[in-house]
Amino acid sequence: MNKEARILCPVCGGKKHTMIREDTELKNFPLYCPKCKQETLINVKNMKISLLDSKS
């Protein structure tokens, strides 16, 4: 059974609708948060989210 989790905004910590599983891999994913109005590039591998860069 795969473990699932919601992505949290790296700026404000709010939960996003985007779900990841333990086998999910994202590279240079543009994550937009309507709460803090920020777009952030992230990588996801093995349920670990790493921050790349922020766009204004």
Percent of the chain at pLDDT exceeding 70: 91
The radius of gyration computed from the CA coordinates of the chain, to the nearest angstrom, equals 11
Q: Is the pLDDT at 53 greater than 70, yes or no? A: no
Q: Is the pLDDT at 43 greater than 60, yes or no? A: yes
- Average pLDDT rounded to a whole number, residues 13-21: 92
- Give the Cα separation of 34 and 23 in Å (integer): 27
Q: Which residue has the higher pLDDT, 37 or 53?
A: 37
Three-class SS state of 12: coil
Q: Is the pLDDT at 1 greater than 70, yes or no? A: no
Q: For residue 37, what pLDDT is reported?
A: 92
Give the C-alpha distances (Å, rounded to integers) separating 55 from 8, 19, 30, 42. 17, 22, 9, 12
Q: Among candidates 42, 38, 43, which has minimal Cα distance to 56?
A: 38
